[in-house]
Amino acid sequence: MGNGNPLPILNEGMGLAPALGPTPRISSLLIKPASAVCNLDCTYCFYLDREADPYKELPARRMTAECLERLVDTFMFYSYPNSVFAFQGGEPTLAGLPFFEKLVQLQQEYGRDGHNVSNALQTNAIVLDHNWAQLFRQYNWLLGVSLDGPEYIHDTYRFNKAGRGTWKRVMQSVELLQKEKVEFNILCVLSQANVEKPGELYSFFKGIGVDNVQFIPLSEFFPDGSLMPFTITAEQYGRFLCEIFDLWWPDRRKMRIRFFDNLAEALAGQKPGACTMHETCDSYVVVEYNGDIYPCDFFVEKEWKLGNIMVDSWVEVARRQRRYNFASKKTLAHPECQVCDWQSICHGGCPKFRHAPHRRFEDLDYFCPAYKMIYAKAVGPLRKEVSKIIGREAPELVRHSISPY
Ligand code: SF4
Ligand code: SF4
């Protein structure tokens, strides 16, 4: 080494991070077996023709059997006794049913006594049929189905390759999953087509027998930072969440809205399910079709690549300096967050929403005004509800002054 620096390669990003306390474990995987490739052509899709996509020149991207086996073998060993696999795309079902049958077989092969394995899959539901449903039910998979509301709303942006709406086909799949008793939730993208219609959306989902919905706000921008036509404003998102909260409150013991679930978890002092409410961005990693690893689905970019499962161990990947660098983006303290009453549950929002408009992680989260609106409305009643459920006063919200990084 010669220069007295004990870890001279740290600045290159692929070195191991210095000892900053216990190494944060990788608690789950988001696997993209068909990369960002999809069988639909939705107008608002973040993945389509993305400049920064490292694989955009490669049309047919599928995870090989060798890569799948290595993934299951090494991750099940690393994550024992709880191994969490989530599949996403693009469209993950493009990998084909035999790929997922093989996955389950490998999980059985490499699992040990007392091993809990959970599988989830986010899908546009276009190819689902009885055979898929059977696999999901037999092994208790949790599905996320993309559905933006009633037909005229869903078909505003969600088109197939021939430019035709997809609502009818998705609804067939929803009915199939209900009939076959497969557990699923709905992922509803909030765009200009539905953000002003919270009442209509809520009645629609309730009317078709759905009891678990997550709303994902659209935030895509032109290079100059102006809003793409379908992107919603923070004020619209805030109003939407407040109105959905009022609609949901009487149904709160039977209907799940992911944002409110996560808020309740945070108020109970637990780690919420959504990474956007975590202190740092290091709870999961993305595994691309060829085994490349990234810290977040929104940052599958060359500069954030953490390694590859065919050559790196999970322990090494977890300790990569680049992982720490990414994780700490969330802790860049914006002046407004430092004095914010909601800081201990919001933690500055999501770096994707900080970075997206002007490519600066230092900016305030684009949706900050929405968070302030919904926290001001929902934290009080939810805190009382959580206190009732846990049988003691839920912890007070406190401002953190020390970042874990
Ligand atoms: S950038 Fe946002 S989506 Fe990505 S890990 Fe961080 S909080 Fe989660
Ligand atoms: S609500 Fe806004 S100011 Fe407060 S912590 Fe979240 S992003 Fe920061």
Q: Which pLDDT does position 31 carry in this prediction?
A: 98
Q: Which of 265, 165, 231, 149 is nearest to 197 (CA)?
A: 149
- The pLDDT tens digits for 18-74 are 544 555 889 999 999 999 999 999 999 877 666 778 888 777 789 999 999 999 999
Tell me the CA–centroid distance for residue 272 and ligand 1, in Å: 13
Q: Which pLDDT does position 403 carry in this prediction?
A: 58
The ligand whose atoms approach the alpha carbon of 332 most closely is 2
- The pLDDT tens digits for 346-367 are 999 999 999 999 999 999 999 9
Tell me the CA–centroid distance for residue 60 and ligand 2, in Å: 41
Tell me the CA–centroid distance for residue 347 and ligand 2, in Å: 7
pLDDT, mean of residues 240-268? 97
Helical (H) or strand (E) element with 351: helix 351-355
Query: How many C-alpha atoms does 367 have within 13 Å on its Cβ side?
Result: 27
* DSSP secondary structure code for residue 16 in this structure: B
Q: Which of 114, 120, 167, 123 is nearest to 145 (CA)?
A: 123
Tell me the CA–centroid distance for residue 203 and ligand 2, in Å: 30
- Ligand 1 atom 2: the closest Cα is on which residue? 350
Tell me the CA–centroid distance for residue 88 and ligand 1, in Å: 15
- The pLDDT tens digits for 5-21 are 322 233 345 665 554 45
Burial 94-120 (b: 16+ CB within 10 A, else e): bbeeebbebbbebbeebbeeeeebebb
Residue 101 has pLDDT above 80, yes or no: yes
CA-to-CA separations, 232 to 44, 48, 195, in angstroms, rounded = 12, 19, 7
Tell me the CA–centroid distance for residue 337 and ligand 2, in Å: 5
- The pLDDT tens digits for 278-315 are 999 998 999 999 999 999 999 999 999 999 999 999 99
Q: Are 186 and 145 in contact (CB under 8 A)?
A: yes
Q: What Rg, from alpha-carbon coordinates, does the chain have?
A: 21
Q: Residue 85: phi, psi to the nearest 5?
A: -115, 125
Q: Which atom of ligand 2 sits closest to the CA of residue 347?
A: 5
First-to-last alpha carbon distance for the chain, in angstroms, is 26
Q: Which of 286, 297, 345 is nearest to 85 (CA)?
A: 286
- Ligand 2 atom 3: the closest Cα is on which residue? 337
The ligand whose atoms approach the alpha carbon of 346 most closely is 2
Q: Which atom of ligand 1 sits closest to the CA of residue 352?
A: 1
Within 191-326, strands assigned E span 212-217, 256-257, 284-287, 292-294, 307-308
Residue owning tokens 């994707």 = 352
Catalytically active residues are 297
- Ligand 1 atom 6: the closest Cα is on which residue? 281
Burial 61-87 (b: 16+ CB within 10 A, else e): bbbeeebbebbbebbbeebbeebbbbb
Q: Which pLDDT does position 213 carry in this prediction?
A: 98
Q: How confident is the model at residue 117 (pLDDT cuts 50, 70, 90)?
A: very high
Secondary structure (3-state) at 60: coil
How much of the chain, in percent, has pLDDT values that exceed 70?
A: 92
Q: Which atom of ligand 2 sits closest to the CA of residue 375?
A: 1
CA-to-CA separations, 284 to 175, 290, 305, 344, 378, in angstroms, rounded = 31, 18, 14, 21, 28
Alpha helices in 27-150, H assignment, sequence order: 65-79, 97-110, 130-138
* Residues 6 or more apart whose Cβ sits within 8 Å of residue 370: 217, 234, 235, 237, 238, 241
Q: Which atom of ligand 2 sits closest to the CA of residue 346?
A: 6
- What residues line ligand 2, using a CB cutoff of 6 Å? 334, 336-337, 340, 342-343, 346, 348-349, 364-365, 368, 371-372
Q: Residue 196: phi, psi to the nearest 5?
A: -90, 10
The ligand whose atoms approach the alpha carbon of 276 most closely is 1
Q: Which atom of ligand 1 sits closest to the CA of residue 349?
A: 7
Sign of CA dihedral 362, 366, 369, 371: negative
Q: Are 155 and 201 in contact (CB under 8 A)?
A: no
Q: How confident is the model at residue 345 (pLDDT cuts 50, 70, 90)?
A: very high
Q: Which pLDDT does position 5 carry in this prediction?
A: 31
Q: Which pLDDT does position 14 carry in this prediction?
A: 60
Percent of the chain that is helix, strand, coil (3-state, to 5): 40, 15, 45
Average per-residue pLDDT for the chain: 91
The ligand whose atoms approach the alpha carbon of 348 most closely is 2
Amino acid at 5: N
